[in-house]
Amino acid sequence: MAERVILAYSGGLDTSVAISWIAKETGAEVVALAIDLGQGGEDMEVVRQRALDCGAVESICVDARDEFANEYCLPTIQANALYMDRYPLVSAISRPLIVKHLVQAARDHNGTTVAHGCTGKGNDQVRFEVGIGALAPDLNVIAPVRDYAWTREKAIAFAEENKIPITVSKKSPFSIDQNVWGRAVETGFLEDLWNAPTKDVYDYTEDPTAHWQAPDELVITFDKGVPVAIDGRAVTVLEAITELNQRAGRHGVGRLDMVEDRLVGIKSREVYEAPGAMVLITAHQELEAVTTERELARFKRQVEQRWGELVYDGLWFSPLKYALDAFLQNTQERVSGDIRIVLHAGSAVVNGRRSNQSLYDFNLATYDEGDTFDQSLAKGFVQIHGLSSKVAAKRDLGL
């Protein structure tokens, strides 16, 4: 039996050409693997057939939408993960899922090598190859676009020379990656940091300045950190993300325009749309503020930042990430309740909270009649709390 290469197949120009190129250069048979992560666009059956038409000996399409939502998006919600305090890891959390299925396909189809279509300037090459190394260190990796400096022109020329049945439409000025968790847009005129995004950059969100829309007020219910209902209707995690993408997207919620620190050491201008992701993280953060004890909450914020950095850096399958997962899961035991949130003009504003796990005590918090806080204890507390600073100040001032 001929050697087999399992290719992460998107259906685009580069990975379509890669099927024929890998077969020609290595003599191996190519098995194409496409993953449905809720990215929309083409019918997955069309994508599957295109891979066969381009020379794949087998073409596999996996519907991983629920798996993606439950095993990758949900941990991101529970970690309140925002890389550089802004980016909800739209692309970063999809890569380890693809890696997992690539490795499984290699085992199922007797593959010795896996391949991807990433360039040498981005983060995804790291996420793919480090992930593959963690799950299947015996597999080889081929990266034609990176290792052979492919350009769009070279790919088209190779397709023409080898009669690969591809249809090349007018090239989008942007590089786009999308899934149900969000949409990432880069390159083109966005590479000039002074250029403002134009209307055609966006797809998941409407113009947030279109104030003609009435505000949309909704209630998200969580059970142990899992979104389980919207406005009292039971939903799966995937359904919650999908519905909030639509409802928040109509109000322009979730648009991000940022200069990002890539793992490879360069800064990159990125535009993101993640309406459902940003609403769910906002609501989850607010519920944790009500239900999580102060010292645990303070330490969790440090863990959240490190967790997000590990995921961004392609270390989803690392020992530290696994250990932090266990900590984060433990913190969700009491994160149950309802968050009321208003979507309007690009913002998602929480205006109501309730939980039977709440640590908010009205009688301790109130300044009105019924106050049970013993203020006579505060004077001594303040003196003891500031004592070390006071002693140091006396020394430093020579008092």
Q: Which residues are catalytic?
A: 14, 95, 124, 175
Q: Which of 305, 231, 244 is nearest to 273 (CA)?
A: 244
Q: Is residue 355 marked as binding?
A: no
> Dihedral through CA 368, CA 369, CA 375, CA 376, nearest 10?
150
User: Counting beta carbons within 10 angstroms of the beta carbon of residue 17, is it exposed (0 to 12), middle (13 to 18) or buried (19 or more)?
Assistant: buried
Task: Name the percent of the chain in helix, strand, coil, to the closest 5.
Answer: 45, 20, 35
Tell whether 312 is in a known binding site. no
Tell whether residue 175 is among the known ligand binding residues.
yes
For residue 20, how many C-alpha atoms fall within 13 Å in the half-sphere facing its CB?
20
188 marked as part of a ligand binding site: no
* Residue 12 among known ligand-binding residues: yes
Is 14 within any annotated ligand binding site?
yes
Q: What is the DSSP secondary-structure string of 35-85?
A: EESS--SS-HHHHHHHHHHTT-SEEEEEE-HHHHIIIIIHHHHHTT--BTT
Is 16 annotated as a binding-site member? yes
| CA 390 to chain CA centroid, nearest Å | 46
- Is 119 a known ligand-binding residue? yes
124 is in an annotated binding site: yes
Q: Is 272 part of any known ligand binding site?
A: yes
Structure-token pair, residue 379:
């004077």
Q: How are strands ordered across the β-sheet holding 4-8? A: 58-63, 29-36, 4-8, 113-115, 140-142
d(CA 42, CA 183): 16
204 known member of a binding site: no
Residue 398, annotated as binding a ligand: no
How many whole angstroms separate alpha carbon 122 and alpha carbon 114?
A: 19
13 annotated as belonging to a binding site for a ligand: yes
Is 123 labeled as ligand-binding? yes
Amino acid letter for position 83: Y
**Is 260 among the annotated ligand-binding positions?**
yes
Q: Which residues are annotated as a binding site for ATP?
A: 8-16, 117
Q: Which residues are annotated as a binding site?
A: 8-16, 87, 117, 119, 123-124, 127, 175, 260, 272
Q: Which residues are annotated as a binding site for L-aspartate?
A: 119, 123-124
Q: Which residues are annotated as a binding site for L-citrulline?
A: 87, 123, 127, 175, 260, 272
